[in-house]
Homo-oligomer: A and B are copies of this chain.
Amino acid sequence: MRKIELYDTTLRDGAQSEDVSFSVEDKLRIAEELDGLGIHFIEGGWPGSNPRDVEFFQKAKKLRLKNSSLAAFGSTHHASNKASDDPNIKSLLRSGAPVITIFGKSWDFHVSHALKISRAANLDLISNSVSYLKKRVTKVFFDAEHFFDGYKANPEYALLSLKAAAEGGADLLVLCDTNGGMLPQDIGEIVKSVALNFSVPVGIHAHNDSDCAVANSIMALESGASHVQGTINGLGERCGNANLVSIIPNLKLKLGYDCVSLQNTKKLKVVSRFVTEIANLRHFKRQPYVGDSAFAHKGGAHVNAVLKHSGTYEHIRPELVGNYRRVLVSDLAGKSNVLMKAKEYNLKIESDSPKIKNIVRELKELENQGFQYEGAEASFELLMKKQLRLHKKFFTLIGARVIIEKRKEGEEPISEATIMVEVGGKTEHTAATGNGPVNALDNALRKALEKFYPQLKDVKLLDYKVRVLTAGKGTSAKVRVLIESGDEEHKWGTVGVSENIIEASWQALVDSIEYKLLKG
């Protein structure tokens, strides 16, 4: 089993993603997760470019990493400085990172147009910078920027830039597809010719602009490279970097390379979601291996087949990457899926019962209105229980009012909710404030009901999502609210849909409470 080195640059290249901005604290937490996953090198930042990255390396000294070495990223020294006087080189050394990765130019066009120095001078910059650093840290990696474009334009010069780094003592020559436009066959051929020419190990750093970053990385590794750089979830500038969350299982589970342990591939989904949450993005449902849809089956025929033999429609066992199979509730699914869900919920229903038809009909009707049960299974379970007469009413709403009042520009408004409910002949009338109208309503409803149902005190609202459904209708658009609730043991999702966000939230809140009370 050939060993492949994994180098993660989520904290540096990944932080260049549009919409992503990591705090130092975020970066430290991500570094710990990467270490837990068994990544060999973690590129923590570019200490010469911003104070946040300087602070990261300072604080990172306290991390107790078991598997990973930290790498600091920067450029070769500036043409007008000596390496020893160069502020960028100094900040790299001050970072205290045992590995330093520096990038240099390997495309002659960039040397003359961006650096505006001679080709020979650029080669000196590279070898000087590498050899100066090599005497002072454990490992120096050389990132050959625009290597593939450079090689296509002038292969001799591109190889000379690698030679300069190798002569300076570089431990690794990383071939970068900086613009991300390469296709797999080019990558394969070029990496092969480099690997034949150098005894220093070769790495690949791919971007996804032609939608081939994962394939390009695999192709490079199959063609002689032994080190791969990428980011969690493919975060990165423009179209992102090569996605390590896809590369790792491709290498380990399909090609049998030695990179992380089989125990660690099981962490991939968790790590992927963790980085998404920290970056405050949505997890991409169709993300290969770890997306929520990656092992979700919608069509009836597929569902039947997968339940018989998982290999029929699944390329790997989902557990291997910490994912799981899902059977989707959907208008394409029909009767057999409803029966399967009934079994899952422990509801007794004969397979020829007319109630199934009613459930399917109601489901379709509600889906047409914008309801969606894929993130709100508790609401679907309630829907089924209502049809099966297994539902009971725990309270009656007599009236509710929410008032939002703003008395001055620039001041947050006050939100107040009043509510009147009836439980078993007794009326409760109460009021509460909140950070916003939905929060106020939630507070008032709980206050009114906890008197009768003390078990509601255990329920917490964990997440609240709002989705505008009908684009192009301005503020009168329909919205769907998804609420995730939990008690000490379980989590459940509920849904509401209305043109009025308060009404949609109300529906989801009531479902959440009823679900809890039905569970007892």
A contact set with B: CB distance below 8 Å: 15-19, 21, 50, 109-110, 113-114, 178-181, 183-185, 208-212, 214-216, 218-219, 222, 234, 236-240, 243, 246-247, 250, 254-255, 277, 280, 282, 284-289, 291-299, 302, 305, 308-309, 311-316, 328, 330-332, 367, 372, 374, 396-397, 399-409, 412-413, 415, 434-439, 442, 460-469, 471-477, 479, 483, 498-503, 505-506, 509
Q: Which residues of B are found within 8 Å of A212, using beta-carbon distances?
A: 212, 214-215, 218, 250
B399 pairs with A406, CB closer than 8 A: yes
**Cross-chain pairs A/B with CB under 8 angstroms, 10 sampled:** A109-B311, A183-B250, A183-B254, A184-B218, A185-B222, A211-B288, A237-B298, A402-B404, A437-B437, A439-B476
Q: How far is the CA of A333 from the CA of B397 in the complex (A)?
A: 52
Q: Which residue of B lies closest to A364 (CB)?
A: B21
A404 pairs with B315, CB closer than 8 A: no
Q: How far is the CA of A438 from the CA of B316 in the complex (A)?
A: 47
A309 pairs with B500, CB closer than 8 A: no
Q: Which residues of B are found within 8 Å of A399, using beta-carbon distances?
A: 405-408
The residue that A113 contacts in the complex, of B109, B185, B308, B502, with Cβ under 8 A, is B308
A181 pairs with B315, CB closer than 8 A: yes
Distance of A101 from chain B, by nearest CB (Å) = 16
Q: Which residue of B lies closest to A464 (CB)?
A: B475
Kindly list the 10 A-B residue pairs having the minimum CB-CB distance in the complex, ordered from nearest.
Answer: A181-B315, A461-B474, A215-B215, A211-B246, A436-B500, A435-B499, A211-B288, A466-B466, A211-B214, A435-B476
Taking A18-B328, A210-B288 as given, write out 13 further A-B residue pairs in contact, using a Cβ cutoff of 8 Å, ordered by the A residue number: A18-B293, A18-B296, A18-B374, A113-B308, A113-B309, A179-B314, A180-B315, A181-B254, A208-B288, A210-B246, A237-B302, A436-B503, A464-B477
A435 pairs with B500, CB closer than 8 A: yes
Q: Which residues of B are found within 8 Å of A475, using beta-carbon distances?
A: 434, 436, 438-439, 442, 461, 464, 483, 505, 509
The residue that A299 contacts in the complex, of B237, B291, B332, B471, with Cβ under 8 A, is B237
A403 pairs with B402, CB closer than 8 A: yes
B293 pairs with A239, CB closer than 8 A: yes
A405 pairs with B396, CB closer than 8 A: no
A211 pairs with B250, CB closer than 8 A: yes
Q: How far is the CA of A331 from the CA of B18 in the complex (A)?
A: 11
The residue that A502 contacts in the complex, of B218, B315, B413, B506, with Cβ under 8 A, is B413
